Amino acid sequence: MGRRAISFLRRWYFAFALGAFVFSPEIRRIVDWQTSFHKLSPFSVLPIAAMLPALLLLFAEWKALGPLYRLVSKIWLGAFAAALLIGLFAGSPVAAGYDVLLFATPMLFAVFLASANEDLAVLYGRVAGTMLCLAFIASAYAIYQYISPPPWDAYWVRNADIPSVGVAEPFGLRVFGTLNAYATFAHYTALTLIVNLPRLRARNWASVVAYVPCGIALLLSIDRSAWLAFAAGLIVYLIAAADRRSTLVRLALAGAMGIVLAGTLLSSLKGSGDVVSRIAERFATLAAIGEEDSFADREAQTARALREAVDEPLGQGLGSVGTAAIAGSAGFANTLDNGYFARFVELGVVGFAAYLAALGAALFAAARAYWISLREPRSAVSSILAAALAVQVMMLFMDLSTDTHNALLGLFFWLSLYIASRYQTEAFEVAARRTSAFPRRVALRLGAQA
């Protein structure tokens, strides 16, 4: 293989890994439709397998990841190490192994980025653009899915036993696009829209147009946690970024285009009259969340999680909560709709404290990098770091309603941390070179005067 081919793979393999996360659930549904439905599928392992080649580059790129990235990685792995052993000895080695891979492999995403050895702004533009391209495809498919659910998606909805997803009929689904759940789809779309805000410039009309189906599909997911997280991320970005005015103009343009497109679709399709009222009613429930049955269910889950955590302060081990639990419990999953409580149950007191420490360190790294970038407030990197900070804030909110620091969504966490860690490293190196060059310039001036 020639050098050009190797260089191409190093720069673009991350796109394949992202595509594996985004499209493998849809491939799995098509295969299940042709054969039969299974709770577990080998396609669930495909995204993890796509990340593993980064292990070959890990040692070579370890220093390039930056000291903050390496520190958070060590804390992160330490938080899950003891829980992995407990899960293995608890008789669920498959579930525990799958669970640790869901949380550990997204760390490798930055290895692909570091190996590309590109300018930070150029690298960020490629990654964010790829994420938006995938979100555009998934969102366009989600709109079609909402209007006319394909038979393989309808088959999956009927067999997956997820009542909250709706019914597999026109205008009856909470769309999930090509992903495995409407919550994952909504959170991926919301994070992608925020990550791409620095790219919304006058010459990048393709990105503005791509926001239209993404915004419509985000609304059709009927996922309030994603809506709120997007609002929080947008507020953080508009406060921090220097290009807030142009960003608002282009978001308003995308919104106007979305209204025109949605209005055209609704007026031409039979049975679509209740779509707007349904979304409006969902927004209205934000003011009365405490009165809903789902809120009572979450309260019961919270109480149960606290009891389990108190009964087993060392944690129940990985593979005891969430999707991974299916692999070790004959298809039954102990579900907790709160990432913090799920980690508390799995990791125990010490592991959960380390988990929170890693999240706090990542947030601090993003905030500090942004603060340093204020020395050049008009630079493209300053807006990029504002988006990285917004992502960290969003994911802290999102973890209140689901797991967002693993699998596909975990890639955003590590992308944000890598951008912040690399920028700080480069900024300190530039400052060090300037400091070391100062005595030399003084000596040269004194010599010239003499």
Ordered per-residue pLDDT tens for the chain, 450 residues: 556 666 677 778 899 999 999 999 999 999 999 988 877 778 888 999 999 999 988 888 898 898 999 999 999 999 999 889 888 887 678 888 888 899 999 999 999 998 888 889 899 999 999 999 999 999 999 999 999 999 999 999 988 877 788 888 888 889 999 998 999 999 999 999 999 999 887 577 888 889 999 999 999 998 889 999 999 999 999 998 887 777 888 888 888 888 877 777 766 666 666 776 677 777 666 665 555 555 556 666 666 666 666 666 777 888 877 666 665 554 445 567 788 988 888 888 899 999 999 999 999 999 999 999 888 766 778 899 999 999 999 999 999 888 899 999 999 999 999 999 999 998 887 777 766 654 555 444 545 554
Residue 210: inside a domain: yes
Helix (H) or strand (E) holding 396: helix 380-398
Please tell me the total count of domains within the chain. Answer: 1
DSSP result, 218-244? HHHTT-HHHHHHHHHHHHHHHHH-TTH
Give the pair of three-digit tokens for residue 355: 């988990």
Residue 425: inside a domain: no
Alpha-carbon distance 242 to 240, whole Å? 7
Q: 166 has which bridge partners?
A: 173
Residue 237: inside a domain: yes
Per-residue confidence (pLDDT) for residue 91, from 0 to 100 = 63
Per-residue confidence (pLDDT) for residue 150, from 0 to 100 = 94
Residue 431: inside a domain: no
Residue 426: inside a domain: no
Residue 449: inside a domain: no
193 contacts: CB under 8 Å, gap ≥ 6: 132, 135, 211, 214, 215, 218, 230
Alpha-carbon distance 100 to 135, whole Å? 26
Residue 14: inside a domain: yes
Residue 192: inside a domain: yes
- Identify the domain containing residue 243 by its residue range: 3-420
